[in-house]
Copies of this chain bind each other. A is one copy, B any other.
Amino acid sequence: MSCTITLQQKGYRLTPQRMMVLDIIHDSKGHISAEEIHQRVRQRYPFVNISTVYRTLNLLKKLHLISETDMGEGYVRYELLERGRHHHLVCRRCGQSFAFEHESLKPLQARLLKEYGFAADLDHFAIFGLCQRCRPAEGKAGAREESQRGDD
């Protein structure tokens, strides 16, 4: 896989721990949490520490091989970037998540570059808001009554 090559080319060691983390991210279909990665790594080799998993994830993130995204669950999720650029819309009411193409962010990216000379890292966004179904409901409700999830 291309990640391992990139890692070595940049002068980082391809340790067993890093290989295991990479394998598991590759095998996982969608977004995966650090805890899930750690558990699967430990099935193969039980002595790998969670801090090593986090350090590996931070390294892969720095190299833009994976994305780190807060989907509003209280912990972050990771995903391979080589699997096509896309982003997500997360409904703050029902919690559902909808993917959308990177295409929709390209005009913004171009504008930030042109107006401010800023090259934005638009790897994998999670944009919060109200989905089509929840939008009418929220407008009506007096915000206090009938709150779906146990907030505040």
Contacts and interface: CB of A to CB of B under 8 A. Distances in A.
A89 interface: yes
Contact of A130 (B118, B128, B131): B118
A108 interface: yes
A16 interface: no
Given A62-B152, A152-B55, A152-B59, A132 B108 contact: no
Interface in A78-121: 89, 91-92, 98, 100, 104-105, 107-108, 111-112, 115-121
B104 A112 contact: yes
Interface residues of A, number: 39
Given A63-B143, A104-B108, A105-B108, A152 B58 contact: yes
B135 A130 contact: no
* This protein's copies in its complex: 2
A10 B91 CA distance: 22
Contacts of A132: 116-118
Given A105-B108, A118-B132, A120-B127, 8 more contacts: A91-B118, A92-B121, A100-B116, A107-B107, A118-B129, A118-B130, A119-B130, A122-B127
Interface of A: 10-12, 55, 58-59, 62-63, 89, 91-92, 98, 100, 104-105, 107-108, 111-112, 115-122, 127-132, 135, 142-144, 151-152
